[in-house]
Amino acid sequence: MPENGIGAPVRRREDKRFLTGKGRYTDDINRPGQLYAYFLRSPVAHAKVTRVETAQAEAAPGVVAVFTGQDMAADNVGSLPCGWTVTDRHGEPHKAPPHYPLVRDKVRYVGDHVAMVVAESYAQARDAADLIEVDYDELPAVVDTKEAMSGTQIHDEAPSNLCFDWELGDKDAVEQAMSQAANVVELDLINNRLIPNAMEPRAAIGDYDSGTDSYTVYSTSQNPHLLRLILCAFVLNLPESRVRVIAPDVGGGFGSKIYAYAEETCCTWAAKKVGRPVKWTAERGEAFVSDAHGRDHVTNVKLAVDQEGKFLALKVDTTANVGAYLSSFSTCVPTYLYATLLAGQYATPAIYANVKAVFTSTAPVDAYRGAGRPEATYLIERVVEVAARQLGMDPAELRRKNFIKPDQFPYQTPVALTYDIGNYEASLDKALEMIDYKGFPARKAEAETRGKLRGIGLSAYIEACGIAPSAVVGALGAGVGLWESAQVRFNATGTVSVMTGAHSHGQGHETSFAQLVSEKLGIPYENVEIVHGDTGAIPMGMGTYGSRSLAVGGSAIVRACDKIVEKGRKIAAHLLEASVDDVEFKDGQFTVVGTDRSKSMGEVAFTAYVPHNYPEGVEPGLDETAFYDPLNFTYPAGVHIAEIEVDPDTGITQIVDWVAVDDFGRVLNPMIVEGQVHGGIAQGVGQALLENCVYDKESGQLVTGSYMDYTMPRADDLPSFRVGMTVTECTHNPLGVKGCGEAGAIAAPPALINAITDAIGEEIDMPATAEKVWRVCQARFAQAAE
């Protein structure tokens, strides 16, 4: 392994700019003559808009223009599309009501976009927005997921607020197994609604050049080409060739920056209308009301188990809240990224899921770190834990008994996926050993002497990453292909520029992808530069989400490197006066087999650009592009164990130990991978203990709309984590990698809730806040005293 090659914990090259204040985020960019946009947002959850009067605002100091939905309608601006059509269980497509960037007749959530003010300064735009008069004919709000279908209808197109009623699996087989099973364990679960909260608020600049009739859009995007595609093909009706989207340094995404939003659409459109660049940066309060939220499921789950503890069948009924409109990928999250994962790590023979997606008068809901897979894992790992308690079995052993065994791979689940490889017992054993599972009863007894309730909780998760085989997702309704691209370009002097369609917003691609290319081409790490995030500089790419960057984008880089080597062999063979078949490539040298005659990669690259002595029929230059379409999903899996202590007098849960053992396949940079695990666990702990998005049921107002109200995990809420690894290499991509970005957020919530319920002896919904836990403890004390 070269010093900076695959497997080395190389320190990140992007850090220097971030640590010295030289990062370049969208809000750090200013264009000459730039104006500022402010969006007037709906103060009510659900209303007909009967009048919008903008004259006074238009006359206010500094104001250049005020736009409403009618102005966009007059320009034939389209609706923000949903990129995945789910077909319901009656064969009908989901209901996809229009989602206009600025509303035309109705507002449907607090924060919906009523008008856009463009002014010389942000303060002027904001002040002028106060002068816009809007008449709202208010309608009842619908915020509760469970009650949405009986609430006031939000869209004409969607009776009973039903977006789709979808199913997967063999219902008859499941019902038959349930009716004959010795035990059926049942749980009602809420997967609480979350607000992603990347630390950089969303921002956009639209810049129109009338000289070339072209646009440059700066945006906090995880996938600049996808944003360009949506803006051009669906909303603004522009040729893609005339629109360049730049996603510079992006301060975290976690899913929330995948989507095409109203604001960047409006800034792009308005830039031509006013003839000057238009910039918008979200205030945090705007991010809370208008970023796509995550999760928000209400679920009933039943697990049938035989007398020996073998799982026979799993039945899941879920209502999923999609919010007021369909965000870009909202529909695939509670379906194909959720129900397809319901086998988990277990050989359950029959599984059936019914999912109803409902519209509510709340912000749109879409993928948030994990996206469907945390919801699936939560219900599986909770019901398995409860089953172990009801059957009086050790929860680790019940899991072991039902694991898919290493010799069963490839394993076809009853819910469509084929797992290629895994070794779940290996992760379980390592995690049990790391946490000293056998020593837990003694630790619990010791905690009791201090008045503390100690609990332990396991979570054996699986996820489907490497998103995704295009033909498979296409057959399921996706409107895009989910391949990735890479261009590897040698410069004449031997340095390499790698253009990747993946986008880094914290993942460290500039480092890890350079490690990969350094090893593949046998050239110094320092000589490799990674270019991403600019549709003007990279081949069309699909961006970063679903832990796909290395498995799909990295595989594309490998394929492009292979092409470089293949061409290099022809050039080297010519220079070495040997047959191409006799030239082998290793560690940066092309060598005639069995001799010491060789040419370096650098010499070959120079020859390709200065082809004075060159093979006939070979093109000059050394610059290759590859597109990689994965053959299957990848299946990272692992076991997390949380050990906690509850103080029954305060309800505070202290995490005393956390062990994470993950199988991500081959690991490229272990330092970065561990960092991803830590961050994922923190978000999972946030969901389980602290975070909760709350809308007021009557008014539809977002109650948790600031950092004073929405509890972000802070340093003193979290412990340090112990991370272990096991490895089974992915069988179908050239790197053997699986992906690591979402694992922690998927694994953590059930581990923690299993630990807390173990400690307090009662079921509790997320977030298990100190108040909720305290109430349970007090009720139990009162009961014991009676």
Partner 1 sequence: MPSLSMTINGKQVTKDVDPNTLLVQFLRENLSLTGTHVGCDTSQCGACVVHVNGKSVKSCTMLAVQAEGSDVTTIEGLAQGDELHPMQAAFREHHGLQCGFCTPGMVMSAVDLLQNNPDPSETEIREWLEGNICRCTGYHNIVKAIQAAASEMRR
What are the residues binding partner 1 (CB under 8 A)? 11-12, 14-25, 27-28, 197-201, 249-252, 254, 283-285, 505-508, 671-672, 674-675, 678-683, 706-708, 712-716, 718, 720-721, 744
- In the numeric block, which tokens belong to residue 39? 């969006």
Under a CB-based contact definition with an 8 Å cutoff, are residues 149 and 88 in contact? no
Distances in Å between the alpha carbon of 261 and those of 63, 208, 256, 274? Answer: 24, 19, 10, 20
| CA dihedral over 285, 290, 294, 295, signed as positive or negative | positive
Distances (CA, A) of 395 to 45, 402, 604, 744: 44, 11, 59, 20
d(CA 689, CA 749): 8
Beta-strand pair 63-68/113-119: antiparallel
Min CB(743)–partner 1 separation in Å? 13
Helix axis angle for 509-521 and 555-575, nearest 10°, is 30
Q: What is the 3-state secondary structure (H, E, C) of 241-284?
A: HHEEEECCECCCCCCCCCCCCHHHHHHHHHHHHHCCCEEEECCH
CB of 200 to partner 1, least distance (A): 4
Of residues 21 and 392, the one with the C-beta less far from partner 1: 21
Q: Which residues are within 8 A (CB) of 628 and not within 5 positions of it... i.e. 6 or more apart? A: 483, 484, 485, 486, 552, 553, 555, 556, 558, 559, 733
In the complex, what is the shortest distance from the CB of residue 351 to partner 1, in angstroms, rounded to a whole number? Answer: 32
Best CA proximity match to 436, nearest among 638, 639, 643: 643
Find where tokens 């549709």 sit. 535
For partner 1, give the closer residue by CB, 19 or 618.
19
Nearer to partner 1, 623 or 674 (CB): 674
What amino acid occupies position 92? E
Q: What is the longest distance spanned by two Cα atoms in the chain?
A: 97
CB 191 → partner 1: shortest distance, Å? 20
As measured in angstroms, the least distance from the Cβ of 45 to partner 1 is 22
The CA-CA-CA angle for residues 214, 542, 335, to 5°, reads: 125
Q: For the chain, first and last CA: distance in Å? A: 68
Q: Output the smallest distance, CB 369 to partner 1, in A.
A: 10
Closest distance of CB 197 from partner 1, Å:
6
Task: Sheet with 350-359: list strands edge to edge.
Answer: 162-169, 350-359, 311-323, 297-305, 183-191
In angstroms, give the least distance from the CB of 58 to partner 1.
24
Taking the complex as a whole, the smallest distance from the CB of residue 521 to partner 1 amounts, in Å, to 26
The CB-of-671 to partner 1 minimum distance in angstroms stands at 5
Question: Which residues, in sequence order, are bridge partners of residue 600?
Answer: 589
Least distance to partner 1, CB of residue 122, Å:
10
* SS3 assignment, position 664: coil
- Which of 195, 332 has the CB closer to partner 1? 195
Least Cα distance to 337 among 302, 303, 377, 364 occurs for 377
* Shortest Å, Cβ 690 to partner 1: 12
| Nearer residue to partner 1 within complex by CB, 707 or 781 | 707
Residue 18 or residue 627: which is nearer to partner 1 going by CB?
Answer: 18
Q: 207 or 249, CB closer to partner 1?
A: 249
Least distance in angstroms from the C-beta of 19 to partner 1: 4
Nearer to partner 1, 420 or 510 (CB): 510
| Residue placing its CB nearer to partner 1 in the complex, 345 or 653 | 653
Place of tokens 């209308």: 273
Q: Indicate the residue among 600 and 711 with the shorter CB distance to partner 1.
A: 711
Q: What residues does 359 pair with on adjacent strands?
A: 323
Asked if residues 207 and 273 have their Cβ atoms less than 8 Å apart, the reply is: no
Separation between Cα atoms, residue 183 and residue 175, nearest integer Å? 13
Report whether the peptide linkage leading into residue 468 is cis, meaning its omega lies within 30 degrees of zero: yes
**Residue 387, C-beta contacts closer than 8 angstroms, at least 6 positions apart:** 183, 185, 303, 305, 309, 393, 398
* Nearer Cβ to partner 1 (691/758): 691
**Which residue, 351 or 682, has its beta carbon nearer to partner 1?**
682
199 CB neighbour count, 10 Å cutoff? 9
In the bound state with partner 1, the residue whose beta carbon lies nearer, of 27 and 112, is 27
